[in-house]
Structure 1
Amino acid sequence: MYPRGIEYRASQVMQGAICLVFLAGAYTRNLSVVVNSLLAIGVTFLPAILQRDWEIRLNPLLGLWLTAAVLLHAIGMLGPYNYINWWDHVTHTLSASVVAAVGYVSARVFDEYSDAVHFPPRFLFVFILLFTLAAGVFWEVLEFSARLAAEALGVEEVLVQYGLGDTIVDLVFDTVGAMLVALFGTPTLSETIESLTERLEQARP
């Protein structure tokens, strides 16, 4: 277990900021802000749950990384997505890097745990890109479906989709996030990979 340092405090501050976004959404009766901020604050507790209930060792930067991604998304629902051109690019890059980290850790743990498979570095690089793009496509489909459902029901959209051009740009920045993890994510994720592998070994029949 890592000691609680500045990363933990920074994550707490960002959790407070997400709560303020929720209150702003509730005050203005903005359903999309309320729903997205509630989901965001829930996601920020995942690292603590993994460490407490599953005894998984996580680098403190991972919690900060995840919280920053969902905070920027929650703030974006207040208006920056509509008025700041680059806001969507930053949030997609950060969110995609989180997804890429999940894919990378999963593949590496499976590689370490099983003697039947071996993933060379080049395969892992391609896998991370494809895994992240697949998740990105799923998200875009989800946004499109949410828009159609909102229009059919005559309610406010919870997720906003701006068309095919925006989708292509989003996937480009998803790729950027994946490449950052593939190139530089190993040191931050190595402790988590080792910890998860140990847990699987303990559970091996």
Structure 2
Amino acid sequence: MRNLTSWLPSQHRQRQLTYLMEIGLIGMLFVGIERGNGGIVINTGVALIVTQLPPLLERDYEIPMDPRLTLWITTAVFLHAFGTVGLPGATRTLYSQIWWWDHMTHALSASLVAGVGYATVRALHEHTDGIHFPQRFVAVFILLFVLAFGVLWEILEFAIALSAEALGIRAVLTQYGLEDTMLDFVFNSIGGLIVALWGGAYLTDITGAIRTRLESRTE
């Protein structure tokens, strides 16, 4: 674990990076308002809400969220929102300018989904004596969980695109074709695989907190 985290900045620097990205999201929200772009406003607004989940979970549910996890979550939503805004002065978004941007954000988002699945499964495994999840099963479950979520996401994108076309408005989320969808699934799997391999090193505290809450409910 030490080898994997030795390249990370200090916890103080991680918090600073998180705050800077949150400020950046606020700035992008105002950019969307100034442009009258509903897609930017909605994407950055949702991203800002997501960035408030870690302190909410820690304060109200006593689920520990160390700076690494908070930075991980904030980075994922920041890069997605930034991709919808684009660079200053550019007429195209990063999603349309950079071919790998969509795949990168899919992998990051999938890793968050996988993290939720991993922590929940491990908590159930440790909480209930009658439930035993072998490590291989956990890895397969995470991949299937991520793929299932990815399918739901693609259906949502497709439905939003059709609705926007029918209403004559700009879609909040964009689909780029079947090939892009298949690549999204590939990168979703990569994000899930990373969590399956290294999730135990970073999600132990969250797993323990979920297990504790489950135990308190059964007492």
Report the AA paired with residue 144 of structure 1: F
Equivalent AA in structure 2 for residue 137 of structure 1: V
2:18 maps to which of 11, 18, 30: 11
Name stretches of at least 5 consecutive residues in structure 2 with no aligned partner.
1-10, 86-92
Which of 190, 196, 199 is the equivalent residue of 2:213? 199
Residue 108 of structure 1 corresponds to 122
- After TM superposition, the structure 1 = structure 2 runs for residues 126-165 of structure 1, keeping only pairs within 5 Å, are 126-165=140-179
Q: Secondary structure at the match of 1:160?
A: coil
Aligned to 1:122: 136
AA matched with 1:14 = M
Q: How far 1:64 sits from its partner (Å)? A: 0.5
> Alignment length, in residue pairs?
202
CA distance in 2, matches of 1:37, 1:6: 23
**Partner of residue 61, structure 1:** 68
Q: Which amino acid aligns with 1:87?
A: W
In structure 1, what is the Cα distance between the partners aligned to 2:199 and 2:16?
22
Instruction: Name the residue aligned to 1:46.
Output: 53
Contact 2:147/2:185 (CA < 8 Å) preserved in 1?
A: yes
Spell out, residue by residue over 1:159-187, the C-alpha distance to the aligned partner (whole angstroms, 9 max, x if none): 11111111000110000000111111211
Q: Answer yes or no: is the 8 Å Cα contact 1:19–1:37 preserved in 2.
A: yes
| SS of the residue 2:203 aligns to | helix
TM-score, normalised with respect to structure 1: 0.96
- Residue 33 of structure 2 corresponds to 26
- 1-side partners of 2:215 and 2:160: how far apart? 41
* One-letter amino acid of the counterpart of residue 60, structure 2: D
Check whether the contact 2:125–2:132 (CA below 8 A) recurs between aligned residues.
yes
Deviation at 1:58, TM superposition (A): 2.1
| Unaligned 5+ runs, structure 1 | none
| Cα contact 1:59–1:191 (8 A) shared by 2 | no
Moved over 3 A (4+): none
Partner of 1:182: 196
| Identical residues among aligned pairs (%) | 46
Confirm or deny: 8 A CA contact 2:47 2:78 kept in the other structure.
yes
Q: Give the letter for the 1:106 counterpart.
A: T
CA contact (8 A) 1:11 1:67 kept: yes
Conservation of the 8 A alpha-carbon contact between 1:36 and 1:74: yes
1:105 and 1:192 in contact (8 A); partners too: yes
1:81 aligns with 2:95: yes
1:204 Cα offset (Å): 1.5
* TM-score, length basis structure 2: 0.90
Tell me the CA shift for residue 81 of structure 1.
Answer: 0.2
